[in-house]
């Protein structure tokens, strides 16, 4: 069993006991424990079930590489799935539940899958669920969704807060082990601004566990002294519990700081996202131990050797009473020695190597009385939910069992792989290190920055340098090189810290144990614990032709679990290479992508939630709308009133009332959001002729003209009324959403194509409040307010004039988007509310009511006016909307003119705008498609048109719609069928799109 | 995330302040041009792995357009220059020659 030892535990505060709950069971740990060490201390080795076969899974590692120990943490608003037990610090009251099992962790029905494992090979989903196709949606997918997935999604709102933090530095050191500290120390001596990030709560990394001296003192003393030195320097920032998550272009780095995870009662944000721009980055991210591939290597109790050592030294926890060590290198001997020194039993060390003489570590192990079997390995591990014994074989053979050793834990080591993720994120290349059988950073192919120079360096084990003395020298050299890149220098008297050295025997690569393992053994040799990928799966993928490592990864799902292949990657590659008969470097690695280790979604959002999610634009009359029943809808970043709902009314009722009232009496619309662009200069007329499809240079001062704008691909992008203000000034109205984009569009052409033209454009949208006064009583109201002459004779349809109304300086446009008598009146933004109030007051006797955007839409649809974004979608040209009249024939050129001559655009056989009227008066579903004769190649009904706008018209008392229909205008009177998503089929007749006052008699009065 | 220098206002800032708008030095073809010319103008882009001349706008800064020469593979920035030109300046081309010998043949 795993248990707490009487001694040891350098990271524990044994005077503070901590109570927590796992699967409803109360347990105790100490302050300083991780959830993993506390679970092991309570003999809870079993922590989850695997993804596919629901195999029992135990803790394997002690750091972020842990593949199995994922739990649901907390509950309610604190709930978080997939928390890793090895990176979760224990706190009083912690509640955790294991994942991916049903009905319980101990007894799981899904484990039956293991008996089906012969039928669940690599690519199983692809092979099995493709036929018959109709079964996918209703049978396969629901079952797979039910059984797949690890943690649950949280159901309630996260009440914690998160923040972003911007930082700049010359040197960012990622990793606070001895190499990181040495690199930081050396860098800081130059005066450079240095930030050091360490992902755990402790400095020094593995060295205090592994032992060794630095500058003649025990490593921990050197760590303490160096921290004190760095802490005293003003140019140095030290952060623990902060992981370097990703390295991005030009020295941009994301750091992930976990501020209160270990102390949920604390005030302040839970996580902080560091957004760092660094001159140079040193990754001192250490190395990760590799598992060995032998049968039963996934049985709970089989752990990484160095992790077993970590639990003993750091937490005073033993993984088992009797631990068999199996290795291909010297490092695992340190585990055997540590276990023995802690009074635990190590019945044997199985060393796959055959060596001519003993190294220091081997000699020490033998001195302690440990039996060492060279050239031996594991044939298979026995046990179910816990290891019971190990069958020993000769590594060179095929797995014949020589003896069986009873034990309750296995500590395995397949060698070490440098953590190269951060080096690789931005294009740093790797090279194969034959001596250590690992990929390490290739210093000749580093990530390149804005100036083409190197901007990431590695230090210590992350460089593939595993001895303490070499690691410190490497770190010092990394700092030296970094400073050179930055044009800085180390002080002349700066010296590298000197580490001690262990004489080690070389490791020997072992990718399968025993090397000739039979199919039966390979089927039980796990590569990816979380995703259940075995040696046999990768070999099958190779056999089936998945020769590219990226394809084999996706086919088998190797390395695609939440640990992203930290343990499985190299073993998987080696297995693939072996199956293909190639060497590992030529097979290559999969791509390393950020983040290194999962970070919370909430921290990416940071403060951007609720009101701070995005800025909201409000018109000068916004507050009045809000206090008069407005239901708002977002239009770009604006909030516009959708309708003003009175008590007792539904939203639909309100819209219908607003339409009828505006048609019969008078309506007020806040039109301030419409874009207003001033285009001015000697060449402004020429410029607008190029931008609009119709002629704007001939527009007379005092007149307005409706215009269309296309891009040079010919597609309609905006529309609006243009007014000529004076000889060289035009005011262009754009759609609400188009103000910024059309302004940018104008600037683009002026700056990048016609830079010799003298034109100036200003976006004055927010300078004015604009109110549409609409309806038969509109003129009456303005006359009652008094001031300028607004009669038909003085101010005709499509004219504008400056003047004074009711004491306000106004610019009045006689334009109509409703078909009614209409004045759009602009006042200075600061006068908007006062003018609105004056209009409401004077209109009280005339039936004045405000109306919202939905009423506006119905009014324009009744008139057959198009709306950009409804009738257009980026693929529609003016000809499709029967707007040929707005395409100038006189102009030699305008944007889109040549494109309209391209064969597909000029094709008469296009979908064109028509009106649609349901045969039973109902309202067509917006976006519905009309179906024609026959089926397409996919067996779907052929489509011949679609609804672009659809409303119930209170004026006509029925549903009206506009749509684009194949050769629509030639098919007047034809009835089309529109299947709805509600299962009903709607019938509608093709009619003229102008439903109301076709002659325009009502607006031209 | 790139760091970009605007040659119009002189500010060096994060990429989020700017907006990229594709290949630079495209010749506009209009009425009177052939279908092939139109196709080239509207759709055909070099999309090189290496040296690329691009149009950018200092969207959330001075609002001005400019050009940038950049390596699409390593993201090295060779320089930024005025939008009001039909070709990159000679000194910039010389700098690219020095950094990427043979790049002209490759594009
Ligand atoms: Zn600028």
A822 contacts A776 by C-beta, under 8 angstroms: no
Q: Give the model confidence (pLDDT) of A889-941 as tens digits.
A: 999 999 999 999 999 999 999 999 999 999 999 999 999 999 999 999 999 89
Cβ contacts of A241 within 8 Å, gap of 6 or more: A198, A199, A200, A201, A257, A258, A259, A261, A262
Least confident of A89-103, A400-414, A988-1002: A89-103
Architecture per CATH, B3-106: 2-Layer Sandwich (3.30)
Nearest CA in chain A to B78: A451
A217 has pLDDT over 70: yes
Residues 264-303 of A with CB under 8 A from B: 277
Question: DSSP letters of A39-72?
Answer: HHHTT--EEEE-TTT--EEE---SSTT-SS-EEE
Tell if the CB–CB gap between B75 and A752 is shorter than 8 Å.
no
Q: Which residue reads 């790049």 in tokens?
A: B103
Pairing of strands A533-534, A25-31: unpaired
Cβ contacts of A267 within 8 Å, gap of 6 or more: none
CA B60 to ligand 1 centroid distance, Å: 8
Q: Give the model confidence (pLDDT) of A312-350 as tens digits.
A: 999 999 999 999 999 999 999 999 999 999 999 999 999
Backbone angles phi, psi at A901, to 5 degrees: -90, -5
Q: What is the mean pLDDT of residues A804-833?
A: 97
Helix (H, G, I), strand (E, B) or coil at A451: coil
Nearest to A755 among B55, B75, B84 (CB): B84
Angle between helices A535-543 and A549-556 (to 10 degrees): 120
Question: DSSP letters of A496-509?
Answer: PPPBP----PPP--
A840 contacts A666 by C-beta, under 8 angstroms: no
A203 has pLDDT over 80: yes
A680 contacts A729 by C-beta, under 8 angstroms: yes
Tell if the CB–CB gap between B3 and A277 is shorter than 8 Å.
yes
Angle between helices A651-664 and A853-862 (to 10 degrees): 50
Taking CB atoms and an 8 Å cutoff, what residues of chain B touch A893? 30-31
A114 has pLDDT over 80: no
Alpha-carbon distance of B21 to B67, in angstroms, equals: 10
Q: Does A897 touch chain B (CB under 8 A)?
A: yes
Looking at residue A253, what is its pLDDT?
98
Alpha-carbon distance of A232 to A226, in angstroms, equals: 10
A127 has pLDDT over 90: no
Nearest to A60 by CA among A267, A344, A311, A287: A311
Taking CB atoms and an 8 Å cutoff, what residues of chain A touch B5? none
A757 contacts A683 by C-beta, under 8 angstroms: yes
Q: Give the model confidence (pLDDT) of A932-969 as tens digits.
A: 999 999 998 999 999 999 999 999 999 999 999 999 99
Q: Give the model confidence (pLDDT) of A402-420 as tens digits.
A: 999 999 999 999 999 999 9
B37 has pLDDT over 70: yes
Taking CB atoms and an 8 Å cutoff, what residues of chain A touch B2? 249-250, 450
Tell if the CB–CB gap between B57 and A744 is shorter than 8 Å.
yes
A·B CB contacts under 8 A: 70
Domain ranges of chain B: 3-106
Tell if the CB–CB gap between A899 and B28 is shorter than 8 Å.
no
CA A732 to ligand 1 centroid distance, Å: 26
Rounded to whole angstroms, the maximal C-alpha distance in chain B is 42
> pLDDT band at residue A132, thresholds of 50, 70 and 90?
low
Percentage of chain A exceeding pLDDT 90? 87
Q: Does A614 touch chain B (CB under 8 A)?
A: no
CA A963 to ligand 1 centroid distance, Å: 44
- Kindly report the nearest CA distance between residue A755 and chain B, in angstroms: 6
Looking at residue A108, what is its pLDDT?
64
Q: Give the model confidence (pLDDT) of B43-75 as tens digits.
A: 999 999 999 999 999 999 999 999 999 999 999
How many CB atoms lie under 10 A from the CB of residue A400?
Answer: 11
* Beta strand ranges found along A593-647 (DSSP E): 630-635, 638-644
Alpha-carbon distance of A975 to A343, in angstroms, equals: 90
Taking CB atoms and an 8 Å cutoff, what residues of chain A touch B99? 452
Taking CB atoms and an 8 Å cutoff, what residues of chain B touch A713? 42
Which candidate in B15, B30, B72, B82 is best for mutational testing of the A interface (most A CBs within 10 A)? B30
CA A13 to ligand 1 centroid distance, Å: 56
CA A232 to ligand 1 centroid distance, Å: 40
A390 contacts A297 by C-beta, under 8 angstroms: no
> pLDDT band at residue A810, thresholds of 50, 70 and 90?
very high
Q: Does A250 touch chain B (CB under 8 A)?
A: yes
Nearest to B75 among A249, A897, A901 (CB): A249
Where on the phi/psi map is residue A97: left (φ > 0), alpha (ψ -120 to 50), or beta? beta
A468 has pLDDT over 90: yes
Alpha-carbon distance of A483 to A478, in angstroms, equals: 9
Q: What is the mean pLDDT of residues A352-372?
A: 95
A52 has pLDDT over 80: no
Q: What is the mean pLDDT of residues A287-292?
A: 98
CA B16 to ligand 1 centroid distance, Å: 13
A125 has pLDDT over 70: no
Taking CB atoms and an 8 Å cutoff, what residues of chain A touch B41? 712
Q: Residue A103 forms beta bridges with which residues?
A: A108
Nearest to B28 among A248, A251, A753 (CB): A753
- Helix, strand, coil content of chain A in percent (nearest 5): 25, 30, 45
CA A388 to ligand 1 centroid distance, Å: 70
Q: What is the mean pLDDT of residues A179-191?
A: 98
Nearest to A249 among B1, B31, B83 (CB): B1
- Kindly report the nearest CA distance between residue B106 and chain A, in angstroms: 19
CA A764 to ligand 1 centroid distance, Å: 21
Alpha-carbon distance of A673 to A446, in angstroms, equals: 51
Looking at residue A149, what is its pLDDT?
56
Question: For chain A, which domains are there?
Answer: 3-113 (3.10.20.440), 162-285+418-485 (3.50.50.60), 290-415 (3.50.50.60), 525-587 (1.10.10.1100), 628-673+767-859 (3.30.1360.120), 675-766 (3.30.70.1400), 908-1005 (2.40.30.110)
Helix (H, G, I), strand (E, B) or coil at A174: strand
Collect all residues from B whose CB is shorter than 8 A from any CB in A: 1-3, 14-15, 21, 28-33, 35, 38, 41-42, 55, 57, 59, 63-65, 71, 74-77, 83-84, 99
Backbone angles phi, psi at A410, to 5 degrees: -130, 125
Looking at residue A165, what is its pLDDT?
97
Which candidate in A752, A892, A902 is best for mutational testing of the B interface (most B CBs within 10 A)? A752
Tell if the CB–CB gap between B74 and A448 is shorter than 8 Å.
yes
CA B88 to ligand 1 centroid distance, Å: 19
Taking CB atoms and an 8 Å cutoff, what residues of chain A touch B35? 902-903
pLDDT, averaged across chain A: 94
Alpha-carbon distance of A929 to A932, in angstroms, equals: 10
CA B6 to ligand 1 centroid distance, Å: 5
DSSP letter at A529 equals T
> pLDDT band at residue A445, thresholds of 50, 70 and 90?
very high
Tell if the CB–CB gap between B57 and A748 is shorter than 8 Å.
yes
Q: Which residue reads 């984009």 in tokens?
A: A741
Q: Does A753 touch chain B (CB under 8 A)?
A: yes
Q: Does A762 touch chain B (CB under 8 A)?
A: no
Looking at residue A116, what is its pLDDT?
56
Q: Give the model confidence (pLDDT) of A780-793 as tens digits.
A: 999 999 999 999 99
Q: Does A751 touch chain B (CB under 8 A)?
A: yes
Least confident of A135-139, A188-192, A970-974: A135-139
A660 contacts A774 by C-beta, under 8 angstroms: no
pTM: 0.91
For Cα atoms A415, A419, A422, give the angle at the middle one, nearest 5 degrees.
Answer: 165
Tell if the CB–CB gap between B42 and A713 is shorter than 8 Å.
yes
Alpha-carbon distance of A934 to A844, in angstroms, equals: 58
Alpha-carbon distance of A243 to A246, in angstroms, equals: 9
> pLDDT band at residue A1, thresholds of 50, 70 and 90?
confident
Taking CB atoms and an 8 Å cutoff, what residues of chain A touch B16? none
Outline where A703-852 has alpha helix (H): 738-752, 778-785, 832-843
- Kindly report the nearest CA distance between residue B76 and chain A, in angstroms: 4
Looking at residue A122, what is its pLDDT?
66
Alpha-carbon distance of B41 to A285, in angstroms, equals: 49
CA B7 to ligand 1 centroid distance, Å: 7
Cβ contacts of A759 within 8 Å, gap of 6 or more: A679, A680, A681, A683, A684, A687, A750
CA A169 to ligand 1 centroid distance, Å: 24
Q: What is the mean pLDDT of residues A116-126?
A: 61
- Kindly report the nearest CA distance between residue B35 and chain A, in angstroms: 7
* The token pair that represents A924 in the structure block: 């067509």
> pLDDT band at residue A692, thresholds of 50, 70 and 90?
very high
Tell if the CB–CB gap between A903 and B33 is shorter than 8 Å.
no
For Cα atoms A490, A492, A496, give the angle at the middle one, nearest 5 degrees.
Answer: 65
What is the Cβ-side half-sphere exposure of residue A948, based on CA atoms within 13 angstroms?
Answer: 26
Q: Give the model confidence (pLDDT) of A549-561 as tens digits.
A: 899 888 888 888 8
Tell if the CB–CB gap between B65 and A744 is shorter than 8 Å.
no
């Amino acid at each position: 069993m795993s248990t707490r030892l009487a001694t040891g535990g350098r990271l524990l505060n044994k005077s503070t006991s901590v109570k927590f709950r796992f699967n409803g069971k109360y347990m105790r740990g100490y302050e300083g424990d991780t959830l993993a060490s506390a679970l092991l201390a309570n003999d809870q080795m079993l922590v989850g079930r695997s993804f596919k076969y629901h195999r029992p899974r135990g803790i394997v590692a002690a750091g972020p590489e842990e593949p199995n120990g994922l739990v649901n943490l907390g509950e309610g608003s604190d709930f978080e799935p997939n928390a890793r037990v090895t990176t979760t610090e224990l706190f009083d009251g912690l509640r955790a539940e294991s994942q991916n099992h049903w009905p319980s962790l101990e007894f799981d029905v899904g484990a039956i899958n293991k008996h089906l494992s012969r039928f669940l090979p690599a690519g199983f989903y692809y092979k099995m669920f493709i036929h018959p196709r109709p079964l996918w949606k209703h049978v396969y997918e629901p079952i797979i969704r039910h059984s797949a997935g690890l943690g649950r999604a949280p159901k309630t709102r996260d009440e914690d807060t998160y923040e972003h933090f911007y930082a700049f530095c010359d040197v960012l050191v990622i990793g606070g082990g001895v190499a990181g500290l040495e690199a930081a120390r050396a860098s800081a001596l130059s005066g450079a601004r240095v930030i050091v990030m360490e992902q755990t709560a402790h400095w020094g990394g593995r060295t205090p566990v592994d032992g060794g001296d630095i500058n003649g003192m025990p490593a921990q003393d050197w760590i303490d002294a160096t921290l004190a030195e760095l802490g005293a320097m003003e140019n140095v920032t030290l952060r623990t519990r902060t992981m370097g998550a990703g390295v991005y272009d030009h020295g941009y780095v994301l750091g992930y700081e976990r501020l209160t995870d270990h102390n949920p009662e604390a005030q302040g944000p839970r996580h902080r996202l560091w957004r760092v721009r660094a001159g140079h980055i040193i990754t001192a991210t250490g190395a990760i131990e590799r598992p060995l591939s032998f049968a039963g290597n996934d049985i709970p109790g089989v752990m990484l050797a160095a992790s077993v050592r970590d639990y003993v030294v750091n937490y005073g926890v033993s993984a088992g009473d009797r631990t068999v060590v199996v290795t291909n290198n010297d490092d695992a001997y340190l585990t055997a020695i540590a276990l023995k020194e802690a009074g635990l039993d190590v019945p044997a060390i199985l060393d796959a190597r055959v060596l001519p003489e003993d190294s220091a570590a081997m000699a020490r192990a033998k001195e302690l009385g440990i039996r060492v079997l060279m050239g031996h390995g594991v044939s298979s591990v026995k046990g179910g939910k816990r290891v019971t014994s190990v069958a020993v074989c000769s590594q060179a053979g095929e797995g014949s069992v020589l003896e069986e050793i009873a034990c309750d834990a296995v500590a395995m080591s397949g060698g070490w792989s440098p953590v190269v993720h951060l080096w690789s994120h931005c294009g740093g290349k790797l090279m194969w290190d034959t001596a250590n059988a690992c990929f390490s950073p290739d210093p000749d192919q580093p990530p390149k920055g804005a100036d083409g120079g190197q901007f990431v360096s590695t230090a210590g084990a992350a460089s593939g340098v595993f001895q303490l003395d070499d690691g410190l020298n490497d770190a010092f050299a990394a700092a030296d090189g970094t400073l050179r890149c930055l044009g800085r220098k180390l002080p002349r008297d700066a010296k590298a810290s000197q580490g001690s050295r262990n004489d080690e025997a070389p490791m020997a690569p072992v990718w399968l144990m025993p090397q000739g393992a039979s199919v039966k053994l390979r089927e039980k040799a796990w590569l990816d614990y979380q995703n259940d990928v075995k040696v046999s799966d990768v070999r099958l993928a190779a056999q089936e032709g998945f020769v590219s490592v990226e394809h084999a990864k996706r086919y088998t799902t190797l390395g695609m679990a939440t640990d992203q292949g930290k343990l499985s990657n190299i073993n998987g590659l080696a297995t693939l290479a072996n199956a293909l008969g190639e060497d590992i470097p030529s097979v290559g690695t999969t791509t390393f992508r950020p983040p290194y280790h999962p970070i919370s979604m909430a921290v990416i959002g940071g403060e951007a939630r609720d009101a701070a999610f995005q800025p909201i634009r409000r018109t000068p009359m916004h507050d009045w709308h809000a206090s008069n029943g407005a239901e708002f809808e977002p239009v770009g970043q604006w909030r516009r009133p959708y309708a003003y709902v009175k008590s007792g009314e539904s939203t639909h009722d309100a819209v219908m009332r607003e339409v009828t009232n505006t048609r019969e009496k008078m309506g007020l619309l806040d039109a301030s959001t419409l874009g207003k662009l001033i285009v001015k200069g000697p060449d402004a007329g020429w410029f607008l002729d190029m931008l609009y499809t119709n002629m704007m240079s001939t527009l007379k001062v005092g007149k307005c003209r409706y215009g269309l704008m296309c891009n040079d691909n010919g597609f309609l992008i905006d529309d609006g009324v243009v007014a000529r203000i004076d000889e060289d000034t035009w005011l262009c109205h754009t759609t609400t959403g188009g103000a910024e984009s059309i302004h940018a569009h104008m600037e683009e052409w002026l700056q990048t194509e016609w830079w010799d033209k003298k034109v100036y454009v200003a976006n004055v949208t927010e300078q004015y409040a604009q109110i549409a006064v609409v309806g038969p009583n509109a003129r009456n109201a303005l006359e009652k307010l008094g001031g300028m002459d607004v009669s038909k004779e003085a101010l005709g349809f499509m004219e504008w004039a400056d003047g004074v109304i009711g004491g306000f300086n106004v610019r009045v446009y006689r334009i109509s988007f409703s078909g009614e008598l209409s004045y759009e009146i602009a006042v200075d933004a600061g006068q908007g509310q006062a003018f609105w109030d004056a209009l409401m007051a004077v209109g009280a006797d005339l039936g004045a009511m405000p109306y919202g955007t939905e009423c506006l839409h119905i009014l324009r649809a009744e008139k057959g006016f198009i709306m950009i974004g409804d009738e257009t979608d980026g693929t529609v040209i003016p000809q499709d909307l029967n707007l040929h009249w707005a395409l100038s024939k006189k102009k030699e050129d305008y944007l889109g003119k040549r494109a309209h001559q391209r064969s597909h655009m000029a094709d008469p056989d296009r979908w064109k705008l028509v009106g649609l009227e349901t045969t039973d008066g109902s309202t067509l579903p917006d976006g519905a498609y009309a179906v024609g004769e026959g089926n397409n190649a996919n067996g779907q009904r052929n489509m011949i048109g679609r609804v672009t706008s659809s409303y119930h018209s209170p004026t006509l008392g029925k549903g009206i719609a506009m749509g684009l229909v194949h050769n629509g205008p030639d098919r007047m009177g034809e009835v089309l069928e529109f299947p709805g998503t509600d299962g009903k089929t709607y019938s509608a007749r093709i009619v003229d799109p102008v439903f109301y006052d076709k002659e325009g008699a009502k607006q031209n009065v | 995330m790139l760091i970009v220098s605007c040659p119009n206002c002189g500010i060096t800032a994060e990429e989020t302040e700017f907006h990229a708008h594709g290949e630079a030095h495209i010749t506009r073809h209009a009425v009177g041009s052939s279908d092939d010319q139109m196709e080239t103008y509207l759709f055909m882009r070099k999309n090189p792995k290496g040296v690329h001349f691009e149009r950018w706008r200092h969207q959330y800064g001075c609002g001005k357009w400019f050009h940038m020469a950049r390596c699409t593979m390593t993201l090295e920035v060779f320089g930024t220059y005025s939008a009001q030109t039909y070709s990159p300046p000679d000194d910039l081309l010389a700098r690219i020659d020095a950094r990427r010998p043979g790049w002209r043949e490759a594009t």
